[in-house]
Amino acid sequence: MALTGRTALIAALGALVVGLLLPGLHGVLAVEVPLLLAILYDLIRAAPVRKLRFIRSGDTSVRLGEQASVTLLLTNPSGRTLRARLRDAWPPSSWSTGEALSASRHDVAVPPGERQRIRTVLTPTRRGDRHADRVTVRSYGPLGLAARQGSHSVPWIVRVLPAFTSRRHLPAKTARLRELDGRTSILTRGEGTEFDSLRAYIPGDDTRSIDWRATARQTTVAVRTWRPERDRRVLLVLDTSRTSAGRVGDAPRLDAAMDAALLLTALASRAGGHVDLLAYDRHVRASVRGRRAQDVLPAFVEAMANLEPELVEADARGLTATALKMARHRSLLVLFTGLEPAAVEEQLLPSLPQLTQRHTVLVASVADPLLEKMADARGTVDAVYEAAAAAKTQAERRHAADLLRRHGVLVVDATPNDLAPTLADAYLALKAAGRL
């Protein structure tokens, strides 16, 4: 049961009448008893809440930052008209700040025995699964003085997937990939290429490409053509330890790493490579391997949806052992991690020889653009101290990157907006140089 503001207003006016015109018990009874009877009548005439039936439908997944629509089909089986205020409850992160109150509440009027569809629009602000909470209904009587209230459990899950904002760079990177493949198929010969077909000799062709056996079997000179290898392997390793929890702008570093990983996955799979994923801190948090080119990107997106940073130190030895177990053939191993000097020197560097001996290793790190602004700040005393601290942090990151490069590791250190395209360019450069 719930009383409305109208009831409170009438009660307050009644108290004023009693105080001014009818002081005493008789005045109280004369004013409040009719109000009490009206409240009881409203409760009796209000449509029952427990008999209502609900069925959910709508979106089951949505990219971060986009909208999802979930529909409730409300059936009123009673013989009374349902006039109600309905609250479709979801976790707070299902909406942007300030939107929850208006987006989750709906006014409904359903005649006896009829149905009504109620649409709730979600705009999630975090990745992961969003579970629908209870549906609370407040059914008002015809006088609007009192209401029946109850809740129903109507389960539904909306999975919030990574945003993949770097997808806009994919057409340009794919065009560059086609250029590389076209140039390679004509100019690249020898180790690291695959035989494609035979064709007739054209003046200007390299004589080393002549297939003398095929030429002997026919009347024209035949030359071999080559194509790029299509079985290159890439292993993406997401470090989900405490360093990935640091926020750069409005999102944790892990989200920027995921975005860059998705762009690289799309590019490498279009190049015909085999791409696998490993998320690790002290334990394996996600693992995707052996997927076909058309399935790999959706599989990665699903695996990343529920990944969250863990506030623990990374186990570099465990990560190395797990990565080597997954990458049994020579691969490009891309490690998304931080460039904190202590973590690099004490944990990552001792494990690198095992990785660089068998694989090409590339470390991708998310840089904070605010550090550069702070380093250039001048004016107040506080600004000077902040500039000194930012400059020190930048110097430490450069030192850590230099240490990795000395051990044969490629390093990409870029801001969240630049990490994905820079990493894609690094992949294309390795491909052009024949280092994949």
pLDDT, one tens digit per residue, over 364-419 is 999 888 776 666 655 555 565 666 777 788 888 898 999 999 989 999 999 999 99
pLDDT of residue 157: 96
Q: What is the pLDDT along the chain (436 residues), one digit of tens a residue?
A: 777 777 777 777 777 766 666 676 766 667 677 778 888 888 888 899 999 999 999 999 999 989 999 999 999 999 899 999 999 999 999 998 888 888 999 999 999 999 999 999 999 999 999 999 999 999 988 888 888 899 999 999 999 999 999 999 999 999 998 887 764 444 444 334 455 567 777 777 777 777 777 777 787 887 776 555 556 899 999 999 998 998 887 889 999 999 999 999 999 999 888 999 999 999 999 999 989 888 999 999 999 999 999 999 999 999 999 999 999 889 999 999 998 888 888 888 998 888 998 899 999 999 888 776 666 655 555 565 666 777 788 888 898 999 999 989 999 999 999 999 999 999 999 988 877 7
Q: Decide whether 1-161 matches 231-432 in CATH topology.
A: no
Strand partners, 194: 227
- 358 closest CA partner among 396, 320, 394: 320
Q: Can you give the pLDDT at residue 28?
A: 67
CA distance 334 to 364: 7
Class of domain 231-432: alpha beta
Task: Note the pTM of the prediction, 2 decimals.
Answer: 0.79
Structure tokens at 406: 């000395």
Task: Name the CATH superfamily housing domain 1-161.
Answer: Immunoglobulins (2.60.40.10)
Domain boundaries, the chain: 1-161, 187-227, 231-432
- Tens of pLDDT, residues 265-286: 999 999 888 999 999 999 999 9
